[in-house]
């Protein structure tokens, strides 16, 4: 069937993309900054130490050879040693990634459910107060950088109205659940500790909200616009003309084709949730991979930077494949090829 | 529906219907007093060039022009004696689901691309007057029967197809199948088959015609071709720029053509038996934002006089069921 | 529902009765004026576009004349006045002062300079290069060049702009120029993809085929036939992108990878101010609002430009 070939094709492309990305990251980390040995060891390092470092990390070879060494390590899951934590980067990533995934997955869930719900509502009550409100919020979502929203939410829930905890992953006095997946909410559920789950969930709430709010309102707007645009289509007029009730036309015949453009954008949005996490995690003191990466950037820890971006790149590509498959599932025109 | 109806009973009557579209800087006066009568069992043609308001007229019967874009500043549409323009959404939906059925102009636009033929047809049956209360199996039987009725082999297979897996002719047939799935009293066909090549168009017309006759429905057939109208209809209404300019029994229109526009249309038809393309009509339909004050055809009319540019001619009786709107007949 | 909307009909009839005198225009000059009027109508049909235009004008004027209109121009540099440090908004300091005693309003207006400068430079470099690559790859679809360019584009688009910009900026020396380089590196692929899509579809259109048939050169076809048809989409995206570039610039300066102190930048003001939250809220809140307003302004205006350049006469809405 065409569908299988389509997925295979996408997977193949993704491998090329990830390979290309590794070259870009290598260039960023090795070519731009000048002497990586100096950057790693600092201004006070002796010549002997520098030479040793270069030898150890193959920095005396020509660039393509260096790349081969580096990508060979990456393929084995070895991103080198972080100069910041003095531990293998891959170990750091394994430790910090689950916390990030926890927030991002919740934010993505909010984004998808919220945008479809609000978008449909706005389209149904076109030009109503609600529609206007969603429009205003979507504009605010476009215009408000993630860090501003995070600070405002921090101000709101940290000082003005402290009903939801905003700092860290758990409150004081609550011990972290046994590590199974590394995601506290999932782990506490798996071990049946509902108190810890609720606490962990509450801590996830505000960061997730800060992450998804902007995208959610924009996507809601997209869903709304796709719906109002499709409202003029002949196939809906036809359905209406055959006496199919409005409710069904709206929720079925209008919604499905209208979701297709929004879903492809949501993939992008969910991917950029992760890059926004870079700022949000720092602000909320969330010990995730983004905070780790951000600190790595500020400390010019090249191995940490390339490791984190590589992992993110793979995640993005994965999400995009997933979204493509969902879109293809929703849209038979893609799934079954061009028709005649 | 109504068994004691006589042959002469009027099923649909449009009286002086005006419809304006909202556009940038004003209202585009697309319909400027349309008059149309459809009798029970009659096949009525609406003929005119693109943009003359044929489709708008029939869509306004069913009330399926998007709400915010238009106004109806005057006129009435009586269906079986009741004015549909004053009906509630519920009442008009009853008409849509049980009385009138429409085949849309562009088959690929009239079918939802992301649902299978079966899914769409099942929902149409489900809410039709006849399909209500029937279980899924029976409804599916009705759908498959309808697909078979439009001469598509292997309906079970087509049932699971998406529209873009079908050819244009097949899509058009499916549209017809959807419209004839349940018994209706009036069928509106908006240029069926125009998008197809001539031989397939001909098949589609034949299919449609036989179904309408078999089921004793009334038909409004929209077409831009007098030839098609001659073949398929009992009476013809020629429309120009939002007006019906001539209306008569089909044979009468061809025998005693009265309106200059109709004459122009006929001359524009290339004849196979010598002569080639005749004079036709010069110019194009007027800008509805700034329509001519008098007869809308006056700027293109070879017989226009001062009177024509100032006063609008009424559609008047000029013979046995023959009406025309022109000062010079 | 009754489809006789009596009130609306009355209004429409009255409107139409008045409109009668207006007639279609014929002369060239009148047509030009008419087209401009129509463009303005399409732009201003959405009131927000007009609001955006006004905001943008004010911000540009403010940035250009910052030295004349701000109350304390000297506060835009390394000025220290501990006597007035961390003052709440008052008639003397409308938006309060920061921890160094500098007027926040002044610093906000001055920071527009860097923000606009960055947006203009980034787009001036990224857009032409992105468009050039896209149109070339699109016209030569199927060639080796197409494959190389589009795969590179895919690579850049596979990671959100902010992340790679952060990475590039972080390995460079932190300053405005390097921030601009980082953002530019991230920006061109969007235009490449946009134009690529259009160019691949236009190359099969009749106007390109006929130009090819009468012997027009590749250069002519690409720049005279295809490019003009892509312009409205490019300009629409550019107008919206100004806001995005400013947003990413603010984010970079928030983490300290943009404009360096003492030159004011919005992101850095937010980040400095957030250390004095919630007591000295004005240090954070006003620069945040300034960021939101500037981005909103460009977005509103961008939407309006999109409406203006869109085809059709805007029958709906």
Both structure tokens of A278: 């870079």
A31: confidence class by pLDDT, cuts 50, 70, 90: low
Both structure tokens of A294: 């951000």
The nearest CA of chain B is from the CA of A246 a distance in Å of 10
Closest CA to B47 of B206, B257, B203: B257
Both structure tokens of C136: 């070339």
CA–CA distance, B235 with B216 (Å, rounded to integer):
16
Least CB-CB distance to A256: which of B64, B114, B128?
B114
Closest CA to A168 of A202, A212, A195, A213: A202
**Would residue B16 be called left, alpha or beta, if left means φ above 0 and alpha means ψ between -120 and 50 degrees?**
left
Both structure tokens of B56: 């708008």
How many CB atoms lie under 10 A from the CB of residue A316?
Answer: 26
Closest CA to B73 of A237, C16, A240, C22: C16
Q: In what order do the strands lie in the sheet with B186-190?
A: B100-103, B186-190, B218-223, B43-47, B235-240, B243-249, B322-324, B316-319
Residue C162 to residue A305, Cβ atoms within 8 A: no
Residue A294 to residue C255, Cβ atoms within 8 A: yes
How many CB atoms lie under 10 A from the CB of residue C90?
Answer: 11
Question: Does the pLDDT value for residue B98 go beyond 90?
Answer: no
CA–CA distance, B62 with B35 (Å, rounded to integer):
16
CA–CA distance, B163 with B175 (Å, rounded to integer):
10
Residue C296 to residue A147, Cβ atoms within 8 A: no
Q: Which chain C residue lies closest to A145 (C-alpha atoms)?
A: C247
| pTM of the predicted protein model | 0.78
Taking a C-beta distance cutoff of 8 angstroms, is the pair B253, B48 a contact?
no
Return the percentage of chain A with pLDDT > 90, whole number.
10
- Tell me phi and psi for residue B173, to 5 degrees: -65, -40
Chain A interface, best mutation among B107, B114, B123, B200, by max A CB count within 10 A: B114
Given this model, what pLDDT does residue C67 score? 87
Hey, CA dihedral for C219, C220, C223, C229, is it positive or negative?
A: negative
How many CB atoms lie under 10 A from the CB of residue A269?
Answer: 25
HSE of A245, CA atoms in CB hemisphere, 13 A: 8
B275: confidence class by pLDDT, cuts 50, 70, 90: very low
Given this model, what pLDDT does residue B269 score? 66
In sequence order, which residues have a C-beta less than 8 Å from that of residue A7 and are 6 or more positions away? A321, A325, A328
What SS3 string covers chain C? CCCCCHHHHHHHHHHHHHHCCCCCCCCHHHHHHHHHHHHHHHHHCCHHHHHHHHHHHHHHHHHHCHHHHCCCHHHHCCCCCHHHCCCCCCCCCCCCECCCCCEHHHHHHHHHHHHHHHHHHHHHHHHHHHHHHHHHHHHCCCCHHHHHHHHHHHHHHCCCHHHHHHHHHHHCCCCHHHHHHHHHHHHHHHHHHHHHHHHHHHCCCHHHHHHHHCCCCHHHHHHHHHHHHHHHHHHHHHHHHHHHHHHHHHHHHHCCCCCCCCCCCHHHHHHHHHHHCCCCCHHHHHHHHHHHHHHHHHHHHHHHHHHHHCCCCCCCC
In sequence order, which residues have a C-beta less than 8 Å from that of residue C136 and are 6 or more positions away? C145, C149, C222
Q: What is the pLDDT of residues B176-231, one digit of tens each?
A: 888 888 788 899 998 887 777 788 888 888 888 988 888 888 999 998 888 888 88
B127: confidence class by pLDDT, cuts 50, 70, 90: confident
Q: Which chain C residue lies closest to A13 (C-alpha atoms)?
A: C151
Coil, helix or strand for A266? helix
- Return the bridge partners of B243, or none: B240
Given this model, what pLDDT does residue C189 score? 92
Q: What is the pLDDT of residues A89-108, one digit of tens each?
A: 999 999 999 999 999 999 99
Least CB-CB distance to B104: which of A231, A234, A256?
A234
Closest CA to B294 of B271, B313, B272, B321: B313
* DSSP-derived pairing of the beta strands B322-324 and B243-249: antiparallel
User: Using CB atoms and an 8 Å cut-off, which of residues 36-55 of chain C contact chain A?
Assistant: 48
Residue A332 to residue B164, Cβ atoms within 8 A: yes
Both structure tokens of A66: 């260096």
Residue C154 to residue A146, Cβ atoms within 8 A: no
What is each CA distance from A247 to A19, A81, C191, in whole angstroms?
A: 48, 59, 40
- Return the bridge partners of B71, or none: B20
The nearest CA of chain A is from the CA of B166 a distance in Å of 7
Which has more confidence, A43 or B1? A43
The CATH number fitting domain A93-297, selected from 3.60.21.10, 1.20.58.410, 1.20.120.550, 1.10.3720.10: 1.10.3720.10
Q: Which has the minimum average pLDDT: A146-160, B21-35, B226-240, B277-291?
A: B277-291
Least CB-CB distance to B114: which of A236, A240, A331?
A331
- Tell me phi and psi for residue A245, to 5 degrees: -65, 150
Residue A300 to residue C171, Cβ atoms within 8 A: yes
Closest CA to C274 of A295, A273, A279, A208: A279
Name the stretches of chain C with pLDDT < 70.
1-4, 20-26, 311-317
CA–CA distance, B142 with B131 (Å, rounded to integer):
8
Average pLDDT over residues B262-270: 79
Question: Does the pLDDT value for residue B82 go beyond 50?
Answer: yes
Given this model, what pLDDT does residue C1 score? 44
Given this model, what pLDDT does residue A338 score? 44
B9-99+186-289 belongs to CATH 3.40.50.300: yes
Given this model, what pLDDT does residue C25 score? 59
CA–CA distance, C264 with C114 (Å, rounded to integer):
8
Given this model, what pLDDT does residue A33 score? 59
Question: Does the pLDDT value for residue A38 go beyond 80?
Answer: no
Q: For residue C162, which residues of chain A lie inside 8 Å, CB to CB? A: 272, 275-276, 278
Q: Which chain A residue lies closest to B60 (C-alpha atoms)?
A: A241
In sequence order, which residues have a C-beta less than 8 Å from that of residue B215 and are 6 or more positions away? B180, B183
Given this model, what pLDDT does residue B46 score? 94
Given this model, what pLDDT does residue B247 score? 93
The nearest CA of chain B is from the CA of A9 a distance in Å of 22
Given this model, what pLDDT does residue C2 score? 58
The nearest CA of chain B is from the CA of C9 a distance in Å of 6
The nearest CA of chain A is from the CA of C246 a distance in Å of 10
Q: Which chain B residue lies closest to A255 (C-alpha atoms)?
A: B114
Both structure tokens of C176: 């405005």
Question: Does the pLDDT value for residue A181 go beyond 60?
Answer: yes
Domain residue limits, chain B: 9-99+186-289, 108-183
Segments of chain A assigned E as strands = none
B270: confidence class by pLDDT, cuts 50, 70, 90: low
B277: confidence class by pLDDT, cuts 50, 70, 90: very low
Hey, CA dihedral for A248, A252, A257, A258, is it positive or negative?
A: positive
Both structure tokens of A158: 């940290």
Return the percent helix, strand and coil in chain A, to nearest 5: 75, 0, 25
Q: Which has the minimum average pLDDT: A295-309, B72-86, B276-290?
A: B276-290
Both structure tokens of A19: 């390979």
Question: Does the pLDDT value for residue A242 go beyond 80?
Answer: yes
Given this model, what pLDDT does residue B227 score? 86
Chain B CB within 8 Å of residue C16 CB: yes
Q: B104: burial class by Cβ within 10 Å (0-12, 13-18, 19+)?
A: buried
Residue A18 to residue C299, Cβ atoms within 8 A: no
Residue B71 to residue C12, Cβ atoms within 8 A: yes
Q: For residue C10, which residues of chain B lie inside 8 Å, CB to CB? A: none
Average pLDDT over residues B75-100: 88
In sequence order, which residues have a C-beta less than 8 Å from that of residue A189 and are 6 or more positions away? A197
CA–CA distance, B205 with B191 (Å, rounded to integer):
10
The nearest CA of chain A is from the CA of C288 a distance in Å of 6
Query: In which element (H, E) is residue A337 found?
Result: none
Provide the total of helices (H) and of strands (E) in chain B, helices listed first. 12, 12
Question: Does the pLDDT value for residue A302 go beyond 80?
Answer: yes
CA–CA distance, A147 with A282 (Å, rounded to integer):
9
DSSP state of B311: S
CA–CA distance, C80 with C249 (Å, rounded to integer):
26
Taking a C-beta distance cutoff of 8 angstroms, is the pair A317, A309 a contact?
no
The alpha helices in chain B, defined as continuous H runs, are 54-62, 89-98, 107-110, 117-126, 136-149, 155-159, 168-180, 198-215, 226-232, 250-255, 260-268, 306-310
Place of tokens 């050819």: B167
Chain A CB within 8 Å of residue C191 CB: no
Average pLDDT over residues A318-334: 84
Query: Which chains neighbour A (Cβ–Cβ under 8 Å, 3 or more pairs)?
Result: B, C
Provide ipTM, 2 decimals: 0.80
Task: For each of the domains in chain C, give its residue range(s) and CATH number, in order of start.
Answer: 97-309 (1.10.3720.10)
The nearest CA of chain B is from the CA of A125 a distance in Å of 13
Given this model, what pLDDT does residue A230 score? 85
What is each CA distance from B319 to A109, A308, B253, in whole angstroms?
A: 72, 88, 11
Least CB-CB distance to A28: which of C158, C168, C277?
C168
Q: What is the pLDDT of residues C191-234, one digit of tens each?
A: 999 999 888 888 888 888 888 888 888 888 888 888 988 888 89
Both structure tokens of A71: 């990508």
CA–CA distance, A167 with A203 (Å, rounded to integer):
7
Q: What is the pLDDT of residues B245-254, one digit of tens each?
A: 999 999 998 8
Q: Write down the mean pLDDT value for chain A.
A: 84
Q: Write down the mean pLDDT value for chain B.
A: 85
Both structure tokens of C77: 């540099």
Domain residue limits, chain A: 93-297
Residue A252 to residue B97, Cβ atoms within 8 A: no
Given this model, what pLDDT does residue B186 score? 92
Coil, helix or strand for B195? coil
């Amino acid at each position: 069937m065409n569908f299988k070939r389509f997925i295979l094709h996408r997977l193949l492309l993704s491998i090329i993309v990830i390979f290309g990305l590794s070259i870009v990251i290598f260039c960023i980390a090795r070519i731009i900054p000048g002497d990586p040995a100096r950057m790693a060891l600092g201004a006070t390092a002796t010549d002997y130490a520098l030479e040793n470092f270069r030898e150890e990390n193959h920095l005396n070879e020509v660039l393509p050879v260096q790349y081969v060494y580096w990508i060979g390590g990456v393929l084995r899951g070895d991103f080198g040693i972080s100069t910041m934590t003095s531990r293998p980067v891959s170990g750091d990533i394994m430790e910090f990634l689950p916390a990030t995934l926890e927030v991002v997955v919740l934010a993505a869930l909010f984004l998808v459910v919220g945008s479809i719900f609000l978008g449909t509502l706005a389209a149904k009550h076109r030009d109503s107060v609600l529609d206007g409100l969603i429009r205003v919020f979507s504009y605010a979502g476009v215009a408000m950088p993630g860090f501003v929203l995070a600070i405002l939410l921090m101000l709101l829930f940290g000082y003005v109205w402290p009903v939801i905890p905003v700092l860290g992953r758990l409150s004081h006095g609550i011990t972290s659940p046994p590590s199974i997946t590394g995601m506290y909410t999932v782990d506490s559920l798996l071990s049946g500790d509902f108190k810890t789950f609720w606490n962990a969930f509450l801590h996830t709430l505000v960061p997730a909200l800060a992450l998804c709010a902007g995208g959610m309102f924009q996507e809601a707007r997209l869903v709304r616009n796709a719906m109002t645009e499709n409202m003029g289509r002949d196939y809906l007029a036809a359905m209406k003309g055959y006496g199919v009730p409005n409710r069904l036309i709206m929720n079925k015949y209008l919604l499905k084709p209208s979701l297709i453009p929004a879903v492809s954008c949501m993939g992008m949005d969910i991917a950029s949730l992760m890059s926004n996490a870079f700022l949000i995690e720092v602000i909320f003191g969330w010990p995730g991979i983004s905070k780790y990466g951000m600190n790595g950037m500020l400390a010019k820890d090249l191995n940490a930077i390339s490791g984190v971006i590589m992992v993110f790149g793979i995640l993005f590509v994965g999400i995009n494949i997933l979204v493509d498959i969902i879109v293809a599932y929703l849209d038979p025109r893609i799934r079954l090829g061009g028709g005649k | 529906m109504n068994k004691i109806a006589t042959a002469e009973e009027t099923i649909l009557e449009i009286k002086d219907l005006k419809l304006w579209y909202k556009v940038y800087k004003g209202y585009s006066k697309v319909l400027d007093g349309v008059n149309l009568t459809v009798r029970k069992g009659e096949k009525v043609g609406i003929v005119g060039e693109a943009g003359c308001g044929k489709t708008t007229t029939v869509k306004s019967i069913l009330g399926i022009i998007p709400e915010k874009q238009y106004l109806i500043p005057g006129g009435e549409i009586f269906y079986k004696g009741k004015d549909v323009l004053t009906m509630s959404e519920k009442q008009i939906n009853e008409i849509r689901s049980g009385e009138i059925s429409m085949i849309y102009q562009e088959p690929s636009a009239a079918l939802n691309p992301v649902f299978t033929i079966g899914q769409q047809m099942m929902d149409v049956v489900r809410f039709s007057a006849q399909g209500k209360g029937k279980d899924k199996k029976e409804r599916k039987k009705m759908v498959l029967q309808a697909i078979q009725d439009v001469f598509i082999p292997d309906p079970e297979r087509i049932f699971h197809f998406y529209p873009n897996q079908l050819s244009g002719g097949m899509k058009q047939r499916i549209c017809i199948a959807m419209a004839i799935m349940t018994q209706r009293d009036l069928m509106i066909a908006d240029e069926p088959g125009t998008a197809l090549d001539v031989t397939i168009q001909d098949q589609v017309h034949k299919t449609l015609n036989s179904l309408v006759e078999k089921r004793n429905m009334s038909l409004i057939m929209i077409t831009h071709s007098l030839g098609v109208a001659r073949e398929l209809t009992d009476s013809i209404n020629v429309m120009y720029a939002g007006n019906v300019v001539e209306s008569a029994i089909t044979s009468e229109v061809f025998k005693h053509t009265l309106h200059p526009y109709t004459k122009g249309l006929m001359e524009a038809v290339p004849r196979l038996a010598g002569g080639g393309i005749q004079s036709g009509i010069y110019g194009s339909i007027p800008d509805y934002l700034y329509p001519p004050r008098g007869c809308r055809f006056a700027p293109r009319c070879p017989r226009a006089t001062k009177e024509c540019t100032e006063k609008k001619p009424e559609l008047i009786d000029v013979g046995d069921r023959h009406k025309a709107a022109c000062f010079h007949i | 529902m009754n489809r006789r909307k009596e009130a609306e009909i009355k209004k429409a009839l009255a409107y139409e009765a008045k409109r009668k005198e207006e007639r279609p225009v014929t002369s060239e000059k009148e047509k030009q004026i008419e087209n401009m009027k129509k463009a303005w109508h399409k732009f201003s049909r959405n009131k927000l576009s007009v609001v955006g235009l006004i905001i943008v004008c004010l911000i540009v004027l403010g940035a250009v004349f910052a030295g004349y209109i701000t109350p304390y121009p000297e506060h835009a540099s390394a000025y220290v006045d501990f006597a007035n440090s961390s003052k709440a908004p008052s008639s003397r300091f409308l938006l309060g002062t920061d921890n160094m005693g500098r007027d926040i309003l002044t610093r906000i207006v001055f920071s527009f300079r860097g923000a606009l400068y960055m947006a203009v430079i980034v787009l001036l470099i990224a857009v032409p290069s992105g468009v050039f690559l896209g149109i070339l790859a699109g016209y030569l679809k199927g060639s080796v060049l197409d494959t190389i360019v589009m795969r590179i584009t895919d690579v850049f688009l596979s990671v959100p702009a902010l992340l790679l910009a952060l990475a590039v900026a972080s390995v460079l020396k932190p300053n405005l120029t390097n921030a601009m380089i980082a953002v530019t590196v991230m920006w061109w692929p969007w235009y490449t993809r946009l134009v690529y899509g259009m160019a691949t579809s236009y190359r099969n259109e009749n106007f390109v085929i006929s130009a090819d048939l009468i012997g027009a050169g590749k250069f002519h076809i690409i720049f005279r036939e295809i490019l003009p048809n892509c312009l409205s989409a490019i300009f629409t995206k550019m107008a919206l992108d100004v806001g995005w570039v400013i947003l990413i610039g603010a984010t970079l300066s928030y983490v300290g990878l943009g404009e360096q102190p003492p030159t004011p930048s919005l992101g850095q003001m937010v980040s400095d101010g957030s250390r004095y939250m919630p007591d000295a809220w004005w240090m954070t809140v006003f620069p945040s609002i300034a960021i939101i307003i500037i981005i909103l302004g460009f977005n509103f205006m961008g939407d309006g430009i999109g409406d203006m350049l869109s085809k059709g006469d805007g029958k709906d809405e």
